[in-house]
Structure 1
């Protein structure tokens, strides 16, 4: 019973981590006409929350001295709920941007703690549970993109399509307050054990996570425009993003379950990256022949990579506190990288006049990650993270 309640809580929390991002795009035009929001300002509605998702986890070793896991989770969920409720009433561009910062800070706090929490609650089913967490996270984003316009149309106000996502945030807030294990809240300041800035493996994992997920932010940003360039419609572009989300969820949930008996995550990552590579090559070489197939392959690979890369990070350390600290660092640096990639691919589109250079860059990134994956042999985990301890000790002695 306790395990089922913990799993329900993981799903409730994960569902709230993407609607603040994905609810924006489908409602952008009515938002712009109502508030005078410019395209550069509109970019901030996504860029600022992603930046928060990167910066806040990097501060966790210091934040944990003043705030407990319970307090942090309550604060993060409250920030998400308050930002969404604020969006029900706002009518200016700068208020929208400010609400994005508040919601982004909330998501960053909750998201930064989730891997360590999952590792502590489900140590023997880590891969499967991380897959379910990732699938719920992506599902929340997909639901917001699909249902937001409908809610807005029924209510007669675009604000309703943004503000409705306060409901799941409040449900998660109540769920955390009532369902969380009362005996399972360690003192996180002692568990974190310092920071990871001096560890090479931590940086490698962070860059790996960020570059793998940069494909997702680039596809969300530019896939509809690419579809339009090849004779498609705006509605068709949105449907392609929806198709990608469906296969992301399938990849995040299915591949970790299929390979759950393997202790080595490299075969799953190689398979997921190979599927992504096939999709990007399809976009490059034959976009008009089977665009739906290429997008589905990319989504399947992206979903599996997100889940497996976080699992890989957590498995580098045996204690939940240390593993959670490493995962926070990896997500912190990783999301900064992830948020940068679509700007680079967008610049390439503007500079070259089409998306071929952008897709080529993402294809080469996937190839590089295929090669880097070979570094993550399980027998090397202990030695790779132990270097952190030696470097910190040396600093102390000096």
Structure 2
């Protein structure tokens, strides 16, 4: 009977994590396919429209430390439910007041909510299922990738039926389903609160730990790669001669491969636990993809998108697992995750905007692709440094 309850709780948690994660990207990734209609309708420059994806990512970094306060003040479950409500409400607002200031304001609030949910969800996984973190982080990554894929692929379809404000506001419906499922989640009966709380008063602050800073930079580089590709892969493909429809297909392929990788790659971590080996393989895939974009033909753009999708699908769960592997309690995992995501998202927030500014000045994406290659080099360096467990200071 107890074993049956455990399986039921785990199954519900998997579904709940999936639904929550589905809400963490559409408000951002639905903007990508609508960049040109929004820019033309509101008379914006490329750099101005890039702010619609840069601001929420910047907020995801700036406000991630609030996850610690939210978790202690309201609890993990209630905090996530409230923040899901905020994401849904402010996504819906975009459909009724489609002005540039409203788009910027809602981007800010949505980014804040996503910032806080991320560390809270990781902490809940660490607390309730400490022996299944890799598998559940895979579900988390899969849900985020699926949300990005659906919004990237279907927003354009919605646009053909209605206008762009309704196309991007339609994703608010996901939050309703997520809240309903999330409120059904119960704490596993075998988990004792007193054993997982941790002694936060004596725990070393991650801000004073060198390894936490390595994780922060790694997370920032993988996030910068993700958001830059999400925003600019389609424009890069169009610049190389693809139609808008075909470029949208390339973006959909990349995100589809990404979600397949995000759910499948973490399943091998327990069987082949050498994370550095996986990191090298995944970074090699990203390198091949970017080089194909730089030097390949029009047809190889599809192959490049697949290689980049593998990289994006593997890098995010690896980055999420780094602080969970390093910590013992849920509270400690929350603080480490909040730190790495805080600095990491701040680093990555400027990249789509920077690319937009550079593109306005140069008229091509050669520098864009060189920048993306530099992120891969940095990730390799810091992943290598993290293989040395003694690299920590107080």
User: Which of the residues 84, 87, 97 maps onto 2:104?
Assistant: 97
User: Which of the residues 33, 38, 51 maps onto 1:44?
Assistant: 51
Partner deviation per Cα, 1:273-309 (whole Å, 9 max, x = no partner) = 1111111222222243511111210111111011112
Q: Is the 8 A contact 1:346 1:358 kept in 2?
A: no
Structure 2 distance, partners of 1:349, 1:173, is 40
Aligned to 2:168: 162
TM-score when scaled to structure 1?
0.87
Further displaced range: 308-317 or 15-24: 308-317
Shift of 1:353: 4.5
Structure 2 distance, partners of 1:161, 1:60, is 30
The question of 1:369 aligning with 2:379 is answered yes
Change (3 A) 1:368 1:54: closer
SS for the counterpart of 1:57 is: coil
Partner deviation per Cα, 1:34-58 (whole Å, 9 max, x = no partner) = 5555544422221211111101113
Shift of 1:76: 0.7
Further displaced range: 178-187 or 17-26: 178-187
Q: Is the 8 A contact 1:313 1:327 kept in 2?
A: yes
Structure 2 distance, partners of 1:4, 1:165, is 25
Aligned to 1:213: 223
User: Which of the residues 132, 154, 178 maps onto 1:172?
Assistant: 178
Structure 1 distance, partners of 2:15, 2:68, is 28
Change (3 A) 1:349 1:98: closer
Aligned to 2:113: 106
Partner deviation per Cα, 1:165-191 (whole Å, 9 max, x = no partner) = 222101111222222428779697965
Aligned to 2:250: 240
Structure 2 distance, partners of 1:170, 1:189, is 33
Q: Is the 8 A contact 2:58 2:350 kept in 1?
A: no
Aligned to 2:232: 222
Structure 2 distance, partners of 1:146, 1:178, is 30
Q: Is the 8 A contact 2:214 2:385 kept in 1?
A: no
TM-score when scaled to structure 2?
0.88
The question of 1:273 aligning with 2:300 is answered no
Superposition pairs for residues 356-395 of structure 1, below 5 Å? 356-377=366-387, 380=389, 383-384=390-391, 387=393, 391=394
SS for the counterpart of 1:178 is: coil
Aligned to 2:81: 74
Shift of 1:310: 1.2
Aligned to 1:252: 262
Aligned to 2:300: 290
Q: Is the 8 A contact 2:12 2:185 kept in 1?
A: yes
The question of 1:59 aligning with 2:69 is answered no
Q: Is the 8 A contact 1:36 1:93 kept in 2?
A: no
Per chain length, whose mean CA-contact separation is higher, i.e. which structure has more relative contact order (CA < 8 Å, sep 6+)?
2
The question of 1:123 aligning with 2:133 is answered no
Further displaced range: 110-119 or 345-354: 345-354
Aligned residues: 383
Q: Is the 8 A contact 2:63 2:115 kept in 1?
A: yes
SS for the counterpart of 2:63 is: helix
Q: Is the 8 A contact 1:9 1:180 kept in 2?
A: no
Structure 2 distance, partners of 1:148, 1:164, is 9
Shift of 1:119: 1.9
Further displaced range: 201-210 or 67-76: 67-76
The question of 1:141 aligning with 2:151 is answered no
Structure 2 distance, partners of 1:152, 1:365, is 33
Q: Is the 8 A contact 2:47 2:360 kept in 1?
A: no
Structure 2 distance, partners of 1:148, 1:225, is 16
Structure 1 portions without partners, runs of 5+: 392-398
Structure 2 distance, partners of 1:64, 1:179, is 16
The question of 1:327 aligning with 2:337 is answered yes
